[in-house]
Structure 1
Amino acid sequence: MTVWTPTDDGHADLTSHDTFLNGPPHNTFARLRREDPLHWTEYPQGQDFWSVTRHADILEMNRNTEVFSSARGIRMEDQSYEEYLARRTFQETDPPEHTRTRMKLVRAFSKTVMAQYEEDIRALCDTILDQALEKETFDATKEIARQLPMRMLGRVVGLPDEDLPWLVEKGDALIANTDPDFTSHVLDKMDTDEFRMMPFNSPAGAELYAYAKELMARKEREGDTSGVLHLIREPAKDGSVISDTEFRNFFCLLVAAGNDTTRYSIAAGIQALCHQPELLGQMQEGGDIWETAPDEIIRWATPALYFRRTATRDFEMHGKTIRAGDKVLYWFASANRDETVFDDPFRVNLRRSPNRHLSFGQGGPHVCLGMWLARLEVRVLFQELVKRIRSIEPAGPHRFLRSNFVGGIKELPVTVRLA
């Protein structure tokens, strides 16, 4: 059985968030990979851009940070230089500035350090699954996938448990600022100019700004130097420190990115279990399948649909010239279904190896800091889920986010039979 079949006509508007209400337009991406892998895309709301859809091209360009810069923003939307400076995190910087900031954090998110949280994650999964599965029919995104990432991030970062539900709500409003189910200020449907200096042009950014400021003031009063929030404020080797605005932007990034990758990977994995019944048995057999299954689930999900870069000088590719100043979008959603890299890309193969997916931005300096935590959370959650159930099936249609930036199933009704 096919997990999911694209329904677009092969000529979808990639600039429209509504296009993605039925999931990524993979018929369009497949056509572009075949016919026009470097595609000039008209953008009615701003500056037109290049769409890059082949895995090999994205990998090559992602490594070339001298030509393709993050330092004008990573989303499709245009912004003034003033807005960029007000909103930017280290995600929107290039080496060596990016490297200085990243090196403060890389050890805290290393594979070795994250492995120390496995039992904490397992205990959280026990609680979450026990509460969800007793209902037998429920929304798996809400009751399972949404619950784990922020609770775990709270422990890694050092956030009060009582604040986590509010932070999840604000993180949703921030990252899904084009979906009316998550925000009252929909980016492309109303005037959000008063929030243009906030991350993601969202009022949630202002609220998270205020929260981060108070949180750090409280930690300083209490002499609390634990967690990554303290690390990011330490001077770099050259003595430089981040500003208050940069710190608050970093906090918003943590709340958003620390939530969506794992949540929507878990949701996509549960969807796959519903539509490929053999996956449940494979997971229940266990063994070395857990060495490859998490990355295949994350490939299948591709929560970050694209990242944008800006060309710093002219660049030739596929007989076309990318001009200095042009916007360039790396469509990870397309790369992760590239049939020249992945056999049978529209099926979940839990033993896929090697798995050269680009969900974490592999190949460049911006590879996801939280990738080891995400892999661990996905593995442990599914290990605990499959030993509790005999079957899982859809209990209604699933719904995707209204976003061409974040790919995810926001509603996933399922029915389970307990083991």
Structure 2
Amino acid sequence: MIPEPLPLDEVDLADPGNFTDGITPWRVFHTLRHQDPVHWQPEPAPNAGFWAVTRHEDIARVDRDAETFTSTKFVNLEEVDDDQIKRRASILELDGVRHRALRGLLQRQFGASVIGRYTDFLRGLTATTLDAALAKGSFDFVSEVSADFPINVLARLLDVPDGDTKQLIEWGNRIIGNTDPDYADVLLGSQESEQYRHLPFRSPASLEVFAYGRELARRRRGGTGTDLVSKLVNETARP
């Protein structure tokens, strides 16, 4: 049964409360796709608002047309100035030659032949994760499945030591949960957060992630590893 569409004048993509009940999002996106597929969403000051593209054919066109649509102004909803853009730009915030070069390198690590090598690992991880959760009878799906599973896949791709996966989850919670006092080291919007404005989500936990990543890169540099860190460190350094 398709939920009743939400009236267009009630659509508010900037309100996190509209994404908590499992029904309202379906109503929102049904309305947008049928009535306003390229939708301008205003936001309260000091934010400037954003465009929301909700139909597949339009998303595909935007993705392929870097001459018209740019990623260089950042692709998330965070408001950033030119200084932050210069300091924090990643592959997600690049267009043109540099983006294609990095994307080409990454794509080679996700081809059919490479992904095929992970088949047994993914099946085993799925079984282990679900068996452990179901054995508890009653469990929190986020903490037992959805948080743990993708981090273990990422850890395998990066060849992160098994004992570090819980730390990766903790870092992720501290960084993403920048408005939640249960997770954030510094709450977004606080005066203290200004000193971290050049970090992702203004989270000081990002500094710990950067240090961890640099140490991984140092250990893999010059080696013959086939993990993603080794490939990025050694292949991007070649002339």
TM-score by length of 2: 0.83
Deviation at 1:220, TM superposition (A): 4.4
Counterparts in 2 of 1:112 and 1:35: CA distance versus 1, 3 Å:
same
For the 8 Å contact 1:73–1:84, the answer to whether it is kept is yes
Counterparts in 2 of 1:114 and 1:178: CA distance versus 1, 3 Å:
farther
Alignment-derived partner of residue 108 in structure 2: 107
Task: Give the counterpart letter for 1:30 in structure 2.
Answer: H
Counterparts in 2 of 1:226 and 1:162: CA distance versus 1, 3 Å:
same
Q: Supply the distance in 2 between the matched residues of 1:39 and 1:175 (Cα, whole angstroms).
A: 26
Q: Supply the distance in 2 between the matched residues of 1:106 and 1:61 (Cα, whole angstroms).
A: 20
SS in structure 1 at match of 2:109: coil
Deviation at 1:6, TM superposition (A): 7.5
Q: Say if 2:166 is the partner of 1:165.
A: yes
Alignment-derived partner of residue 16 in structure 1: 15
For the 8 Å contact 2:217–2:233, the answer to whether it is kept is no
Task: Give the counterpart letter for 2:11 in structure 1.
Answer: A
Q: Supply the distance in 1 between the matched residues of 2:131 and 2:21 (Cα, whole angstroms).
A: 31
Listed one character per residue, the Cα deviations across residues 155-198 of structure 1 (whole Å, up to 9, x for unaligned) are: 221111111101011123334444555434343x5342221111
For the 8 Å contact 1:8–1:25, the answer to whether it is kept is no
For the 8 Å contact 2:62–2:69, the answer to whether it is kept is yes
Alignment-derived partner of residue 38 in structure 1: 38
Task: Give the counterpart letter for 2:227 in structure 1.
Answer: G
Q: Say if 2:87 is the partner of 1:81.
A: no
Task: Give the counterpart letter for 2:62 in structure 1.
Answer: M
Alignment-derived partner of residue 131 in structure 2: 130
Q: Which structure exhibits the higher relative contact order, with contacts defined as CA atoms closer than 8 Å and separated by 6 or more residues?
A: 1
Deviates more, 1:176-185 or 1:37-46: 176-185
Listed one character per residue, the Cα deviations across residues 128-174 of structure 1 (whole Å, up to 9, x for unaligned) are: 23322221111122222322221222122111111110101112333
Choose between structure 1 and 2: higher strand proportion.
1
Counterparts in 2 of 1:218 and 1:33: CA distance versus 1, 3 Å:
closer
Q: CA RMSD in A?
A: 2.8
Q: Supply the distance in 1 between the matched residues of 2:7 and 2:190 (Cα, whole angstroms).
A: 29
Alignment-derived partner of residue 49 in structure 1: 50
Choose between structure 1 and 2: higher helix proportion.
2
TM-score by length of 1: 0.50
Task: Give the counterpart letter for 1:229 in structure 2.
Answer: V
Q: Supply the distance in 2 between the matched residues of 1:8 and 1:204 (Cα, whole angstroms).
A: 38
Q: Which runs of structure 2 are paired with 1:190-205 in the superposition (5 Å)?
A: 190-191=190-191, 192-205=193-206
Q: Supply the distance in 2 between the matched residues of 1:71 and 1:158 (Cα, whole angstroms).
A: 30
Unaligned runs of 5+ in 2: none
Alignment-derived partner of residue 25 in structure 1: 25
- Residue identity over aligned pairs, in percent, reads 32
Task: Give the counterpart letter for 2:209 in structure 1.
Answer: L
Task: Give the counterpart letter for 2:169 in structure 1.
Answer: V
SS in structure 2 at match of 1:121: helix
Task: Give the counterpart letter for 2:26 in structure 1.
Answer: H
Deviation at 1:218, TM superposition (A): 3.4
Q: Supply the distance in 1 between the matched residues of 2:166 and 2:206 (Cα, whole angstroms).
A: 16
Unaligned runs of 5+ in 1: 240-419
Deviates more, 1:62-71 or 1:230-239: 230-239
SS in structure 1 at match of 2:113: helix
Q: Supply the distance in 2 between the matched residues of 1:101 and 1:54 (Cα, whole angstroms).
A: 27
For the 8 Å contact 2:157–2:228, the answer to whether it is kept is yes
Deviates more, 1:166-175 or 1:112-121: 166-175
Deviation at 1:26, TM superposition (A): 3.3
SS in structure 2 at match of 1:130: helix
Deviation at 1:99, TM superposition (A): 0.8
